[in-house]
Amino acid sequence: MYPTLLPFVHKRPPFVLHNGLIAKTNLRKRIAASFLDFSFMVIFFLLSLLVLQKSKDVGTLNLSPNLLIPLVVYWFLYFVGLESIFGATPGHKLLKLEVVSLENRKIHWIQALKRHLLDIVDYYLFCVPSLIAIYNSEKHQRIGDMWAGTLVIDQSEETQDLKN
């Protein structure tokens, strides 16, 4: 076993919910999926800069407050919309991760919104709050997951798949 870099992080055993679903950290997959999703977000933002900038001069970049509107709309549709409709964003789907409610059901759009409203705290602080929460919470949840009453499960594992 590798020593932990953070002395206040304690790895907990998997937690079995009342419906038989096992909550695990799935940490490597969650990090990779989040990296993919935010890469898509950055690509969209850069394309938006190119298309919506005020100046048409090559090499000149004039940012407009109107650029914030498409970014917020895209964020809402991408993270909240796709999670509430499909249970996962493209990055999470590629890695066979799904967000479910604690009752082992598909999440509601309000739950998806709650999960992602706290992304600002997580990513502003370099994901340290997420890592601490995932390792120390009984159900291996991020702070947003705790607030929304959701879990991230690995569909490729039989003990976590909703369809079983």
Give alpha helix (H) positions in the chain.
27-52, 68-75, 82-86, 90-94, 109-117, 119-124, 128-136, 143-148
**pLDDT-derived band at 23, boundaries 50, 70, 90:** confident
Nearest to residue 126, comparing CAs of 22, 59, 31, 45? 31
Please state which of the ranges 63-72, 112-121, 131-140, 146-155 shows the lowest mean pLDDT: 63-72
- Give just the sign of the alpha carbon dihedral 72, 73, 76, 79: negative
Residues near 105 by Cβ (< 8 Å), separated by ≥ 6?
none
Position 63 scores a pLDDT of: 64
Phi, psi of 16 (to 5 degrees): -95, 120
Instruction: List the structure tokens of 113.
Output: 């919104």
In the chain, where are the structural domains located?
15-154
pLDDT at 2 over 50: no
Q: What percent of the chain has pLDDT above 90?
A: 42
Cα distance between residue 26 and residue 89, in whole Å: 16
Average pLDDT (9-36) is 76
User: Which has more pLDDT, 143 or 51?
Assistant: 143
Nearest to residue 103, comparing CAs of 155, 159, 148? 148
Instruction: List the structure tokens of 88.
Output: 């996962």
Cα distance between residue 71 and residue 77, in whole Å: 10
Average pLDDT across the chain, whole number? 82
